[in-house]
Amino acid sequence: MCPIAMAPAAGTGPEAGFRGVIRVSFGTAAVPAAEGSAGMAGHDVRFDAADREALASLIAVLEQARVGVRLILAGPPADVAAAAAAAAACGLLEEEVTLLANESGRRLVFCAHCRTANTTVQGVGSEVDCEGCATTLAFSGHFSRRIGGYLGFAAHAEEAA
Amino acid sequence: MTATALQAKVHPAVEGGLLLEVADLSVQTASVTSITFTDPAGTALPGYVPGSHLVVQYGDGANAYSLTGSGRHPSEYTISVLRVDDGAGGSLAMHRLAVGDLVRVSHPRSAFAPVATARHHLLIAAGIGITPMLSHARAAAERDSEATLVYVYRPGQGAHVQQARELLGPALAECTDRGSFQEELTRRLTDQKLGTHLYLCGPAAFMDTVLARARELGWPQGRLHSEPFGAAELDQGEPFTVNLARSGVTLEVPAGISLLEALENAGKGVPNMCRKGVCGECSLQVLRGAPLHRDLYLSEQEKSANTTMMCCVSRSLDQELELDL
């Protein structure tokens, strides 16, 4: 189910019943104009980041759309993953969504101990100090599409104290 | 059918199944009759997933029919059978059944389940294709999930129309001519909220048309679900030879006999269910030779790899096939 459905702010959404391509970019990312738009109407949306407000407005756009629509998400990995999770919750299938995440940029590391979502620009395999419980987390490659982030767990936990 | 018919060999498709009694017959239209089966001892029957079918034996043959109930705690199984006068005889045998007759049936088999995450179910049925849709519509009503049914039938020949009206109310659209159906179809395919899944059952040509239109309008494969009951009649095929590599046995498969039947006759039976190239249960590994794929289960890519085949319908392009069996 769509977590939050808000009426779209006047003038921001495509017309009701839209079945074209919705191109969403976060930050300075740009969706290549040719991407996935073969003969389909396009609707462009730009957000600074995939924060609560941006996701609510994306969901509102998706609620107005109809089956046949395609979604393209471009930007930092954390933002693309968060938007992809919201789209999946709205009922979009993987084959309807194109993810164009930057190779580097912010990612979410979800703390297994206190459930804080930490944002970091480091990569998989590095260590991140949790903002919630100060545990030094091993940034693992386990990725949750629902959460849109990676699993972080206490690094060095198995080493002799 | 009588006790005499029951003494016939148990068809492999209903082996390990149930022995049920005809409890009720109800004429739906001039050519469609509903048949209700119950356990002769009066016990409850196994539940089933909406859209499931039941294989029912008649004489030496067996046919699959969609169950029309929701599948939740069933005390009876009901199927509706369209009489096909020039078919293999299964539907005629079903129409000859009388209350009190005993029949061998399989356990219900699910090959057309609703998608659990769907936010809306768009059901499209033509003719006798209404049967699995009744099951879906009933299940949706019980589970409080949303469903719409578009039902195409010839005037005066709509089986279960009354039940569909009672179940769905305004969520039922009835079409009795091609033109109005095309309009209705386009309207439905262009106005579904995200998360809608489409379920389709009817004659093969009808399903091809609807699926092609849906794809044209941007519906991805993952949203399209069809029950290919009207699988086109397959020809007898050419005879060929199979080499069973592990058992060192060579078998001849004559024209008109399926590879599955040839294996069963030689005591080399393999697990199987639908016996019409739909369920994927009788898949075999091919070691050498090119199969003539005639199933609806493998993807085009899997077919062209020539490493797997469905032995119930597929045959051989080469004189000889070698199987991992």
C-beta atoms of A19 and B196 within 8 A: no
Q: Is the pLDDT of residue A7 over 60?
A: no
Subunit contact A68:B191, Cβ cutoff 8 A = no
CB contact under 8 A, A66 and B190: yes
DSSP 8-class letter at B169: G
pLDDT per position as a tens digit, B28-83: 999 999 999 999 999 999 999 999 999 899 887 788 899 999 999 999 999 999 99
Residues of B near A (Cβ–Cβ under 8 Å) read 117-119, 189-196, 217-223
Query: d(Cα B29, Cα B281) in Å, to the nearest integer?
Result: 34
Give the count of beta carbons closer than 10 Å to the beta carbon of residue A105: 16
Amino acid identity for residue A111 in this structure: C
Q: What is the distance between the alpha carbons of residues A16 and B254, in angstroms, rounded to a whole number? A: 60
pLDDT of the residue at B27: 95
Q: What is the pLDDT of residue B5?
A: 52
A65 to chain B: which residues are within 8 Å by CB? 194
Out of A69, A94, A95, whose CB is closest to B194? A69
Residues of A with CB under 8 A from a CB of B: 1, 17, 19, 40, 62-63, 65-70, 90-96
Nearest CB among A40, A67, A90 relative to B223 is that of A67
Radius of gyration of chain B (CA): 21
Contacts of B47 (CB under 8 A, 6+ apart): B71, B72, B73, B74
Asked if residues B54 and B77 have their Cβ atoms less than 8 Å apart, the reply is yes
Predicted confidence (pLDDT) at residue A53 exceeds the cutoff of 90: yes
Using a CB-CB cut-off of 8 Å, the residues of chain A touching B195 are 90-92
How many whole angstroms separate alpha carbon B29 and alpha carbon B90? 18
Domain locations in chain B as residue ranges: 12-105, 120-227, 240-323
Could you say which of A62, A68, A95 has the minimum Cβ distance to residue B217?
A68
Candidates A127, A121, A124; CA nearest to A102 is A121
Task: Indicate the residue of A40, A67, A94 with minimum beta-carbon distance to B194.
Answer: A67
pTM of the predicted structure, to 2 decimals: 0.82
pLDDT at residue number B245: 94
Type of residue found at B1: M
Query: Is there a contact between A93 and B223 if contact means CB atoms under 8 Å apart?
Result: yes
Q: Which residue of A has its CA nearest to B122?
A: A67
Contacts of B196 in chain A (CB under 8 A): 67, 91
What local confidence, expressed as pLDDT, does residue A4 receive? 52
Q: Are B22 and B37 in contact (CB under 8 A)?
A: yes
Which residues in chain B land under pLDDT 50?
1-4, 230-232
Output the pLDDT for position A34.
Answer: 60
Q: A91 and B194 in contact by Cβ < 8 A?
A: yes
Query: What pLDDT digit, counting tens, does each position of A108-154 carry?
Result: 999 999 999 999 999 999 999 999 999 999 999 999 999 999 999 99
The answer on pLDDT for A98 being more than 70 is yes
Q: Choosing among A67, A71, A95, A97, which should be mutated to test the B contact, i.e. which has the most B CBs within 10 A?
A: A67
Instruction: Say what the pLDDT of residue B4 is.
Output: 45
Question: CA B84 to CA B32: how far, in whole Å?
Answer: 10
B32 within 8 A of B80, measured Cβ to Cβ: yes
Predicted pLDDT at A2: 58
The residue in chain A having the minimum alpha-carbon distance to the alpha carbon of residue B197 is: A67
Separation CA B198–CA B208 (nearest Å): 14
Residues of A within 8 A of B218 (CB-CB) are 19, 40, 67-70
Fold held by B240-323: Ubiquitin-like (UB roll) (3.10.20)
CATH topology of domain B120-227: Rossmann fold (3.40.50)
Write out chain A residues lying below 8 Å of B219, CB-based: 67-68
Check residue A9 and report its DSSP letter: P
Condensed to tens digits (0 to 9), the pLDDT of residues A54-88 reads 999 999 999 999 999 999 999 999 999 999 999 99
Question: DSSP secondary structure string, B80-143?
Answer: EEE--TTSSSHHHHHHT--TT-EEEE---B-SSPPPTT-SEEEEEEEGGGHHHHHHHHHHHHHH
State whether B196 and A62 contact (CB < 8 Å): no
Q: Test B223 with A66 for CB contact under 8 angstroms.
A: no
Q: Per the CB < 8 Å rule, is A62 touching B220?
A: no
Q: Report the chain A residue with the minimal C-alpha distance to residue B216.
A: A68
Contact B195 A70 (CB under 8 A): no
CA–CA gap between residue B181 and residue B165 (Å, rounded): 17
Write out pLDDT tens, residues B152-190.
Answer: 999 989 999 999 999 999 999 999 998 999 999 999 999
Question: DSSP secondary structure string, A27-39?
Answer: TT----TTTT-TT
| Cβ within 8 Å, pair A93-B220 | yes
Are the C-beta atoms of residues B46 and B107 closer than 8 Å to each other?
A: yes
pLDDT > 90? residue A10: no
Taking 70 as the threshold, does the pLDDT of residue A11 lie above it? no
CB B29 within 8 A of CB B153: no
Closest residue by Cα to residue B74 from B109, B94, B55, B49:
B49
Note the CATH number of domain B12-105. 2.40.30.10
Asked if the model's pLDDT at residue A50 lies above 50, the reply is yes
Say yes or no for a CB contact (<8 Å) between B193 and A67.
yes
Domain residues of chain A, as ranges?
21-101, 107-154
